[in-house]
Every structure is written in C-alpha cells, then in structure tokens.
Amino acid sequence: MAPSPSIPNLQEIRRKCVTVHNSHGEKLVGVLHETNSLELVIICHGFKSSKDRIPMVNLAAAYEKEGISAFRFDFAGNGESEGSFQYGNYRREADDLRAIVEHFHKEERFIAAIVGHSKGGNVVLLYASNYKDVQTVINISGRFNLERGIEHRLGRDFKEKIKHNGFIDVRNRKGRFKYRVTEESLMDRLTTDTRGSCQSITNNCRVLTVHGSMDEMVPVEDAMEFAKNVSNHKLQIIEGADHEFTLHQDELSSVVVAFVKAGLGGRNYMAMPSESCKRTSGCIHSRF
C-alpha cells in the first residue's frame, strides 16, 4: 500500500484476524485494520451479509488510509462467526457489538465511531440508545420502519403462514433453502422500537445517516425519519446511489471519514497514547 503524504509510516499498517467471544460464548470473527492509532472505528454489516462485503471492506480501508484503525466483524450466525443465523436478532446483535466494544476497551483503544450498513445501521443506533460510551454513530442505509420489507421476503400472507406453521422457510429463485424465519425471530423484528431507540440517544452523541437516493431496498424516506427522531443528527443523501452504494463507494467513504475526523478534532486524548500503544514501536496517531 502506498504511503499517504499526510500520515507517515503507513507501510506499517497490518491486517489481522481477531476473535472475540460474545455473551453466549460464540466466537465473533473480525479483521482488524491496524494502524497503531489509539482511535478505532468498528464497522457492522447488514442482513445476511458479512464483514467481507462492500461497503464494509472499502470503509475500513478508507479509515486505514487516514491513519485510523478499523475493525469489521461478522455478527453471530453470519460469515465466519459461530452461532446460527436468526431473522430479526436486533437486540442480540447489539449485544455482539457490546462484546466487541468491551474487548477493545480492554485493549485501551478509544472507540472513535461505530458504523453500520443496512441492518447494521439499526444495530449501531440501538447500541447507542442502550450504552453511552460511543459518541459518534454512523447509520448507512438503515431501515426506520421495520414493518416494511417483510412481505418482499416472506410473502403477503406471512402472518397467517407463520401462525399456522410456526415458521417460514425462505428459498431462492431456484427453490433452494436459504434460511428459516421462526415466529419468535419475526416478533423480535416487529417489536424492535426504532423510534424509541432513536429518541433515547443522548444529545452528546453525534449521529450521521447516509442514504442513497436510488435505494430500492430501503426507501430514502426512512432516512428522513431518522433525522426527525435523533436529536443530534446530520443527514446526507447521496444522489443516484443504491443500497450498497455500488457506484458511489468513494463518495460514501469521503462522507463517513470526514464525519469521524470532525468528531476527533481537538480532543485532549489525541496527545495521550494508551499504555499498550506506548509499548508499540512505530505508533501512529491520527493528525487532524
């Protein structure tokens, strides 16, 4: 990787696998983009996705280029992590994120931001409503109205089907089994209070919502609802972008990196490396 003119020693950046156990004893697998910065950004993927999908990889690389360490990981039941996949699971994924945050707190890292794409956006907001230890939250393409989007996957009569059978098996276009939705997991989604969570986020927590104007999976109107219900909120609509910002990766990265850098500027901890960082040669601190 070519060194940045503003951050020396970027050739020392390394990527390594890190596993963290959640509260259920399951291994959560992630990739740490280590720049030896005190600051760390945690990146969360969306529904039935993984740490290795765009935009997770590109976002981590964008922070890495700025000298900010980043960690992207798989929720339980997804990607390389242990556990079984569950539809819904918003609260449990927020608990997974808690395990990640606590792990890096023990490593004496400052969590500069938690970033979530799609369902991950809902998870980081839910986390911020329950815990007050992260002051910058970025919601990318999150869904405000969780009652929408279910018919697309489960069919219009999903309520009747799941009441009758106790579950619905979701299959692909070729009829192959993808995953099972139980009544319990469906109710987990339907009883997750997005509005209440947003309104519970304290004013000293900065929240950015980024949404594509051409998102066909989650309508851009949902982004407007986040703006109405989070007190300290900034809204950024990227014109022409789809749900994964397929053709707008650079623009997305620019927006989310700038938001984190703005939150880091001028903080006193910037000049105070942690003990673990002091012991590391070639330690890099973000310069903003």
Domain boundaries, the chain: 10-144+202-278, 147-191
pLDDT at position 267 is: 53
The proportion of the chain whose per-residue pLDDT surpasses 70, expressed as a percent, equals: 88
Residue 88: pLDDT band by 50, 70, 90 thresholds?
A: very high
268-282 pLDDT tens trace: 333 333 333 333 333
177-188 pLDDT tens trace: 999 999 999 999
Which residue in 228, 222, 237, 220 sits closest to 201, CA to CA?
228
194-210 pLDDT tens trace: 999 999 999 999 999 99
pLDDT reading at 288 higher than 50: no
pLDDT at position 156 is: 87
55-86 pLDDT tens trace: 999 999 999 999 999 999 999 999 999 999 99
CB-based burial label for 87 (10 Å; 0-12, 13-18, 19+) = buried
Q: Which residues pair with 207 in a beta bridge?
A: 137, 233
pLDDT reading at 36 higher than 80: yes
Strand blocks (E) in 83-238: 110-117, 136-140, 167-171, 177-182, 206-212, 233-238
pLDDT reading at 287 higher than 70: no
Distance CA(249)–CA(247), nearest Å, equals 6
As a whole number, mean pLDDT of residues 212-226 equals 97
Structure tokens at 33: 């983009």
Distance CA(75)–CA(85), nearest Å, equals 9
pLDDT at position 153 is: 87
Beta-carbon neighbour count of residue 269 at 10 Å?
Answer: 12
pLDDT reading at 190 higher than 50: yes
Does 3.40.50.1820 match the CATH number of domain 10-144+202-278? yes
146-178 pLDDT tens trace: 999 899 889 889 999 999 999 999 998 899 999
Distance CA(163)–CA(208), nearest Å, equals 38
228-269 pLDDT tens trace: 999 999 999 999 999 999 999 999 999 999 999 999 984 533
Structure tokens at 183: 């009544």
Q: What is the pTM of this model?
A: 0.88
pLDDT at position 193 is: 96
Mean pLDDT of the chain: 89
Coil vs helix vs strand at 270: helix
